[in-house]
């Protein structure tokens, strides 16, 4: 989950600024000078948008999703360390403190993800309108990307893309590349990347639906109120074995347990399930198109005959190994491979494979008809029993092979590949 947002934002960033062969519009300069809101207004106002215009509009709308989330977080006196520890999209991005921030409201997290879903849907609408992806040609200088965090209409210090969304990515690219100082790459996105960006939109949409399915507001309010009372009662003193900010982790666990207990919204879990399937379908389209490319022009994700514009090398068989990961993920989502319950498995495992009676959870059944969840009964197995069945278990072998291929850089490549 940690890599999800960084990848998504960089993907959208690149989509957001295009130089189409027909219109010759410099979207990179547009976003640099007018920000995401100005770029979105200009692109949406075009009476007859080109395929590259639509791709750019989809990317700008995607990036605007992130920007609005950042603006909401910046305007609020929210515990930044705690939300970063949550690992959820949008929440874990680093932001400078705001001395004029307003008090935090528990319902803000729900509002943030509701807003994100609406923005992401608009991004998909633009991408779905592309009928001739081969006509897409997008050149983006990633140094031009920025988020108007404080909503003042100007690019201020600390609002650049790499400062907010990808400081670790920049550091890793600098370390892996040949340059002594990291230079933001200039990348040309093409028709293949339409599907790649759409896959990211579906990924974040599905994640947002999952968060909203468990109604986080009540759980957050309950824990925040309890913590305030404890803090007042103890004058801010905690037991010696809870040093530093460990209590924040305890609060996060409490929020998570309170949120998942009860009846999830089945409409939202079904929507999330479909988004995740659509994400994989778009990824398959992306890899099929990439395999047919014959050019070699500032590539984002290359085939084995191309070079990437990034200061790193894609190992041979990167596409093959990652598609194997996607295939296993699709089989899990469709219930063709089962997930192991921690206390119910059946059979025996040897070198990653299962022998004997295989018993696991059918994720498709779980997401399309979710049960009322009780944490203890789920761990015990009672709540999971209606979704348990005999069949082949997911081994995770494909992901292990991908990790081995990447030699310690699997996290970075997961960010890039989606």
Q: What is the mean pLDDT of residues 17-25?
A: 47
With 0-12 / 13-18 / 19 or more C-beta atoms within 10 angstroms meaning exposed / middle / buried, residue 29 is: middle
Per the structure block, which two tokens stand in for 407? 């030699």
User: What separation, in Å, do the N-terminal and C-terminal C-alpha atoms of the chain show?
Assistant: 11
**pLDDT per residue as tens digits for the range 130-148:** 999 999 988 889 999 999 9
Give the integer Cα–Cα distance in Å for 393 and 73: 40
Higher local confidence (pLDDT), 83 or 226:
226
Q: If you search the block for the tokens 């389209």, which residue do you land on?
A: 285
Q: Give the pLDDT of residue 176.
A: 46
**pLDDT per residue as tens digits for the range 40-60:** 999 999 999 999 999 999 999
Q: Give the pLDDT of residue 231.
A: 81
Q: Give the pLDDT of residue 179.
A: 43
CA 412 → CA 33, 175, 194, 205, distances in Å?
30, 12, 21, 22
* pLDDT band, very low/low/confident/very high, at 418 (cuts 50, 70, 90): confident
Q: Give the pLDDT of residue 177.
A: 46
* pLDDT band, very low/low/confident/very high, at 240 (cuts 50, 70, 90): low
- Say what the pTM is: 0.87
**pLDDT per residue as tens digits for the range 361-399:** 999 999 999 998 888 888 888 888 999 998 888 888 899
């Amino acid at each position: 989950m940690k890599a999800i947002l960084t990848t998504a934002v960089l993907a959208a960033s690149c989509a957001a600024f295009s130089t189409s062969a027909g219109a010759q519009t410099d979207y990179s300069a547009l976003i640099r000078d007018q920000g995401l809101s100005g770029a979105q207004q200009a692109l949406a106002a075009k009476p007859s948008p080109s395929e590259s215009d639509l791709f750019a509009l989809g990317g700008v709308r995607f990036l605007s999703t992130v920007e609005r989330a950042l603006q909401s977080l910046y305007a609020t006196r929210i515990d930044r360390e705690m939300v970063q520890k949550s690992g959820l999209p949008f929440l874990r991005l680093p932001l400078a403190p705001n001395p004029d921030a307003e008090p935090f409201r528990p319902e803000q997290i729900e509002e943030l993800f509701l807003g994100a879903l609406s923005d992401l849907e608009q991004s998909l609408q633009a991408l779905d309108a592309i009928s001739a992806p081969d006509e897409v040609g997008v050149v983006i200088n990633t140094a031009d990307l920025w988020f108007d965090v404080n909503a003042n209409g100007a690019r201020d210090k600390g609002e650049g893309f790499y400062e907010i969304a990808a400081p670790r990515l920049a550091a890793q690219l600098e370390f892996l590349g040949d340059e002594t100082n990291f230079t933001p790459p200039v990348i040309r996105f093409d028709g293949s990347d339409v599907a790649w960006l759409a896959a990211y939109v579906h990924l974040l949409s599905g994640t947002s639906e999952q968060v909203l399915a468990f109604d986080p507001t009540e759980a957050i309010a309950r824990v925040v109120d309890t913590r305030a009372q404890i803090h007042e009662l103890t004058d801010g003193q905690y037991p010696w074995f809870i040093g530093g900010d460990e209590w924040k982790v305890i609060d996060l666990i409490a929020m998570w347990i309170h949120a998942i207990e009860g009846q999830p919204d089945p409409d939202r879990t079904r929507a999330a399930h479909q988004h995740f399937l659509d994400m994989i379908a778009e990824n398959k389209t992306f890899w099929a198109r990439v395999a047919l490319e014959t050019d070699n022009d500032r590539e984002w994700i290359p085939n084995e005959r191309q070079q990437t514009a990034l200061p790193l090398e894609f190992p041979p068989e990167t596409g093959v190994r990652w598609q194997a990961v996607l295939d296993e993920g699709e089989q899990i989502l469709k219930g063709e491979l089962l997930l192991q319950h921690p206390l119910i498995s059946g059979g025996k495992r040897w070198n990653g494979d299962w022998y004997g009676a295989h018993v696991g959870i059918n994720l498709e059944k779980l997401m399309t008809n979710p049960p009322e969840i009780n944490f203890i009964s789920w761990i015990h197995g009672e709540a999971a029993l209606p979704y348990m069945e005999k069949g082949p278990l997911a081994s995770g072998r494909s992901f292990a092979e991908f990790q081995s291929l990447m030699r310690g850089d699997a996290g970075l490549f997961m960010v890039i590949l989606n």
